[in-house]
Homo-oligomer: A and B are copies of this chain.
Amino acid sequence: MATIKDIAKEVGLSITTVSRALNDYYDVSPKTKKRVKEVAEALNYSPNHIARSLVMKKTKTIGLLVSDLMREGVKDNFTFEVLTGINKCAGDLGYDLVLFSTSSDKQKEKTYTQLCRERRVDGVIISGIKTSDRYLTEVVTSDIPCVLIDIPVNSNSVGFVTTDNVLGAMKAVQHLIELGHTEIAFMNGHDFAYVSKKRLEGYLSALEKAGLPIHNEWIVNGSFLDSTAEKVAYELLQNNPEITAIFCASDLMALGVIKAATKLNIKVPEDLSIVGYDDILLASYVTPSLTTISQDKYQMGYQAAELLISMLKDNTTPHQRLLNTHLVIRESTSLHNKQ
C-alpha cells in the first residue's frame, strides 16, 4: 500500500511537500501539485485516515449509541429511520458513522465515556435511551460533544433534537374533539420518557381548553409496547364502556389497543376512535389504517447529525432543534356516534 513516502521518493520531493500538495495547501506551486497528484494516482495511493487522525486528534467520525438496536426496535423502525437520516447527513458532511452496540452485558464493564474515548469519535448521537438510563447522567458530566434524540439536555457539550410533543398531542386530541368525542382516554408510554411527559401535557391541555373533564383513571401506561398496551387497553375498555376515543403515545401501542378493542367486540372506528403517534410504516398498512401524529424521523436524524457536526466546528450556535409534527387522518378515527 503506497504512502506519501513512496510518492515523495518517486517525485523526488520531501514528504512534507507531498503532504501539502495532496491537501491543496496554498504554498505549493501548481506544477508540483499536479505532478504529485499524478504520481499518487499512478501509485494507487489512498490516504491513511488512521495516521491522519492520530496526529490531528480528530477522527471525522461520529458514534451512534442506541440503547436497543437489537430485536425489539425492529417493529417500529423508528430507530432505523433516524439512523438513515444521520447516515445521510454524516456522509454529506464527510463524516463516518460508527455504531456502538450497547449489549446490556457490556454496559456494565464499559462506561459511555470509555466507549467514546477508545474509539476516538469526535462526537456522539444517542437515541432511544430512557431518562432513567445511567448513560444519561454520564453524558452530561462528560465533555464529549453529544446530541440526544428526544431528551432535552442542554449544556456546553450536549444538545438535542426533538419534536414539539405538547403541540403534537394537542393536535391529536383536538382532532378527536372536533369529531365530537368527549370521553377521550390516553394510552401513554412510561414515566421514564421525556416524550411521555410532554404528550401528557398536551393531552391535558387540549381537554382543558375544550372544557372537558379529566379522568385520571383514563390515563394509562402501555410501555410503548403493543402487547402491554393491548392488555392495559382491554381492562380500560372493559371497565369504562363510556370511552369513545383513545389517544395513544405511539402507533405500536395503538395497534395493541385495536387488538384489545377487537377482542371486546368494539369496532374501530365506529365505536372507538384511535389516534396514534409517530406514523410508523405499519400505520398506513394495517386495517383500519391509523390516524396519527406524524414525525419526520429521517429528518430528526439528519438534524441531529447536522447539529452535532456544527457543534464540533463552532460551539456557539444554539444546541437544540425543534421539529414539527402533523396530523395524518386515516381510517381509525371517525365522527362520534351519538346514540
Interface residues of A (CB under 8 A from B): 1, 46-51, 53-54, 59, 61, 69-71, 73-75, 77, 80-81, 83-84, 87-88, 90-92, 96-99, 101, 103, 106, 113-114, 117-120, 255, 281-282, 285-287, 298
Asked whether, in the complex, the Cβ of A75 is within 8 Å of the Cβ of B281, the reply is: yes
Asked whether, in the complex, the Cβ of B49 is within 8 Å of the Cβ of A69, the reply is: no
- How distant is the Cα of A83 from the Cα of B84 in the complex, in angstroms? 12
- Main secondary structure, interface of A, reads helix
Closest to A97 in B: B99
Asked whether, in the complex, the Cβ of B74 is within 8 Å of the Cβ of A281, the reply is: yes
| A103 in complex: contacting residue of B1, B92, B96, B285, CB < 8 Å | B92
Q: Which of A84, A113, A114 has the most CB of B within 10 A?
A: A84
Asked whether, in the complex, the Cβ of A50 is within 8 Å of the Cβ of B120, the reply is: yes
Point out the residues of chain B lying under 8 angstroms from A80, CB to CB. Answer: 74, 77, 80, 83
Point out the residues of chain B lying under 8 angstroms from A120, CB to CB. Answer: 48-50
- How distant is the Cα of A46 from the Cα of B114 in the complex, in angstroms? 6
- How distant is the Cα of A49 from the Cα of B114 in the complex, in angstroms? 11
Point out the residues of chain B lying under 8 angstroms from A113, CB to CB. Answer: 46
Closest to A283 in B: B285
- How distant is the Cα of A50 from the Cα of B122 in the complex, in angstroms? 12
Known pairs A54-B50, A54-B54, A80-B74; A103 contacts B118 (CB<8 A)? no
Asked whether, in the complex, the Cβ of A71 is within 8 Å of the Cβ of B91, the reply is: no
- How distant is the Cα of A91 from the Cα of B104 in the complex, in angstroms? 11
Tell me the smallest distance from the CB of A12 to a CB of chain B, in Å: 25
Closest to A106 in B: B91
Point out the residues of chain B lying under 8 angstroms from A287, CB to CB. Answer: 286-287
- How distant is the Cα of A73 from the Cα of B281 in the complex, in angstroms? 11
Asked whether, in the complex, the Cβ of A47 is within 8 Å of the Cβ of B84, the reply is: no
Point out the residues of chain B lying under 8 angstroms from A101, CB to CB. Answer: 87-88, 90-91, 97
